[in-house]
Amino acid sequence: MKRIAFLFSGQGAQYPGMGKELFEDSPAARAVFDLADEIRPGTSEQCFFGTKEELVLTANTQPCLFCMDLAAACALAEKGIAPAACAGFSLGEIAALSFTGVLSYEDGFRLVCKRAALMQEAAEKAKGAMAAVLKLSDAAIEALCDSFPGVYPVNYNCPGQVAVAGRAEAMPAFCAAVKEAGGKAVMLAVSGAFHSPLMDEAAAGLGAALEGFQPSAPRIPLYANRTGELYGENIRELIATQVNHPVRWTHTVQNMAKAGAEVFVECGAGKTLAGLVSKILPDAVVCRVENAETLKQAVRICGG
């Protein structure tokens, strides 16, 4: 039997209309959106009919993407596809925590709403930005960041691609330095300098908020962004400090493969994670679930 890994999409993948087909075609997906609407009225409306400008605001992005990610995974599970391991990219890790039973769906959604509010507040206090840096080694990018105070390597996406975050005013000069070094910098559609020290206040607030939740051990092996390793006993710490520390995605995917994962399914909006997996593991089988057609394809690939 194929060993399948579910990957939950992160912020930046959002788009107007996401999740509408899953809502219409899958009872399991519909239940996720219905639950979200009970807690945060209008969430489904934002996903299905919200504008690009509305969805890019962190306070909206995170609850909406949580629903999209979890709905996609639930729709796939509804078809009898069970993962051997899970991981989520940044915001996607909260959906993964719910899917693996660390948090209930309700608690996961409440937590992601709190996370979004804290990160939005931090972003408004210190105007930040993010860019994906391509064609340079991790070491070269780290060295460039060292020469620009307030700019940090934050997402180790795949070989040759690291996202950096920092104060918005520092980014133009940093991107110019990347080009001069032979690399390419692409600005990302996010509203803050996530996974950097500019999110320290958000991490502290999230740590305090987590005191009100009772996390359980994951019922499915779950990999943490902070370490790229399996979740252990320090669940609250890993969740809270994820927001102001780098995402070790390359390490995560490599470790999932070492543990036997053969098929990687991106659950959620877009195909960013599917693309990253193909760059990290060129021989891996990769698919995704974000609408009715991709759900059918994923079921065929995972179940065949």
Partners of 129 in the β-ladder: 166
Is 195 tagged catalytic?
Answer: yes
Find the angle CA(112)-CA(191)-CA(242) to the nearest 5 degrees: 45
* Beta carbons within 10 angstroms of residue 303's beta carbon: 12
DSSP SS3 for 192? coil
Q: How far apart are CA 140 and CA 242, in angstroms?
A: 24
Which region holds residue 90: left if phi is over 0, alpha if psi is between -120 and 50, else beta?
A: left
Q: Is residue 267 classed as helix, strand or coil in its secondary structure?
A: strand
222-223 and 85-88 strand pairing = parallel
**Diameter of the chain by CA atoms?**
52
* φ/ψ of residue 87, rounded to 5: -155, 150
Let me know: does 122 contact 202? Beta carbons within 8 Å. Answer: yes
Residue 90 annotated in active site: yes
Q: Of 90, 98, 191, 196, which residue is the catalytic one?
A: 90
**Catalytically annotated residue among 9, 44, 195, 196:** 195
CA distance 277 to 6: 12
Contact 248, 228 (CB under 8 A): yes
Q: Which two tokens stand for residue 23?
A: 């809502």
**What is the signed CA dihedral for 300, 255, 273, 214, rounded to 10 degrees?**
90
Which residues carry out catalysis? 90, 195
